[in-house]
Amino acid sequence: MTLDTATLTKAAFPSPNDLEPFARWVEDRFAQDGKAAHIDLPPELTHLGLDARLPGYVDTRGGARRIHRSGFLQSPEPWLKHPQTRFQSAGLIEGLDGRNHPLRPANPQGVVYERFFVDAGITVTFRSVDIDRDLDTFHRWQNDPRVAYFWEEDRSTEELRGFLEDRLSDPHNFSVIGEYDGLPVGYFEIYWAREDRLGAYYDAGPWDRGWHGLIGETSALGRAKTSAWIRALTHYIFLDCPMTDLVVGEPRVDNAKLLRYADALAYRKIKEFDFPHKRSALMHCARDDFFSRVAL
C-alpha cells in the first residue's frame, strides 16, 4: 500500500518509536525511482522526528531533510527484529589456527528479520529453527529429489534430527527457516566464514559470513521470489553485524539457476575451486556494493 504524506502524521504512529510507516513511505519513494541515490523529505514530514534515527539522514546546505538510499537500508529498523546492539561488546580473540576470530554473543531466537518485497509481492521472514516444530517439514524438503541433488541429505527423520541438532550446537552456524507471508518455504544456514570449511580456500576476514540455502516448496520458486529471499538473507546478514563487510558463498558450479542471480544482486564470482565432494564457485558480496547497487 502506498502511503501519501497526508497519511503520515503523528496520529498514524501507535507510539513515537514506531518507524515502520515512515520506513515504508521512504521505501515506496525509492521504489518509484530505482536509481535515486537519495530523496528529499517534504516539509510536512519533518516534524515527525523519526527521520533523524535513520543513518541515511542528513541536512543539506539548502536546509532540505534528505535520506540517502545506502544509509537508509543499513538502518536496523524496522527490519531487524532483535537488537543490533548485541554486537556492541563483541571483539576478536586468537584462535587455535593463529588467526583472530570473533568473540560474539549467542544466536538470537525467534523471528530475526521481516520485510515486504514489492516486486515479489511477499513478506519474507526469517526465524530461528525449532526442531520439534520444523523437523517434519525439513525431512520432506530434504527428501525431495530436487533438493537432495544439491544437499545430499535425503535421510530419515531421526537422522535429520541429529543433523539439525549438530547445526544448532555449532557456534559458527546459525540456522533459520524462511517464510513467505507466514508460511515456511526454506531452510538457510548463516555461518562465520573463517571458521567454516570455506575459510581455507580464500583469505577470509574475521567478520566475513556466508550462507547455504534451500527452497523446499515448489510454489515458492520463481525469479521474483528467489531474488527476494537472496536479497533478504544478504540484507539480514549485513544488518545483524555491523562489522561484516563481506558475504560469501560457495554454490556448486552447476547450480546455474542460483548463479544467474549473482551479478544483479552484487555477488561476484572470484574463482572456481574443488571441495572434496564438489566443485564450487567462490562468490563475494561486498557491503558497499550491495547497498549502492541492489534495489531492495
- Give the pLDDT confidence of 35-80 residue by residue, as tens digits: 778 888 776 665 555 555 555 565 566 666 778 887 888 888 788 9
Residue 61 is assigned to a structural domain of this protein = yes
Q: Which residue has the cell 515456511?
A: 184
Last residue of a domain, one of 32, 47, 72: 72
Name the range with the highest mean pLDDT among 12-26, 127-141, 253-267: 127-141
Question: DSSP string spanning 181-193?
Answer: TTEEEEEEEEEEG
Residue 203 is assigned to a structural domain of this protein = yes
Q: Identify whether residues 64 and 169 lie together within a single domain.
A: no
The parent domain of residue 58 ranges over 10-72
The answer, yes or no, to whether residue 7 has pLDDT greater than 70, is no
Alpha carbon distances (Å) from 108 to 105, 155, 190, 199: 9, 28, 12, 24
For the chain, the domain total comes to 2
> According to the model, what pLDDT value does residue 51 have?
54
Q: Are 146 and 153 in contact (CB under 8 A)?
A: no
Residue 97 grid cell: 589456527
> According to the model, what pLDDT value does residue 23 have?
74
Residue 134 is assigned to a structural domain of this protein = yes
Residue 127 is assigned to a structural domain of this protein = yes
> According to the model, what pLDDT value does residue 58 have?
59
Residue 77 is assigned to a structural domain of this protein = no
> Which strands make up the sheet holding 122-128, listed edge to edge?
111-117, 122-128, 173-180, 183-192, 209-215, 246-249, 279-286, 268-274
> According to the model, what pLDDT value does residue 83 have?
81
Q: What residues act catalytically?
A: 250
Residue 107 is assigned to a structural domain of this protein = yes
Residue 280 grid cell: 564450487
Residue 79 is assigned to a structural domain of this protein = no
The answer, yes or no, to whether residue 4 has pLDDT greater than 60, is no
The answer, yes or no, to whether residue 232 has pLDDT greater than 80, is yes
Whole-prediction pTM:
0.87
Q: Identify whether residues 94 and 163 lie together within a single domain.
A: yes
pLDDT tens for each residue of 78-120: 889 988 777 776 778 877 677 888 888 889 999 999 999 988 9
Rounded CA gap, 278 and 150, in Å? Answer: 10
Q: What is the largest CA-CA distance in the chain?
A: 65
pLDDT band at 176 (very low <50, low <70, confident <90, very high): very high
Q: Identify whether residues 116 and 206 lie together within a single domain.
A: yes
On average, the pLDDT of the chain sits at 85
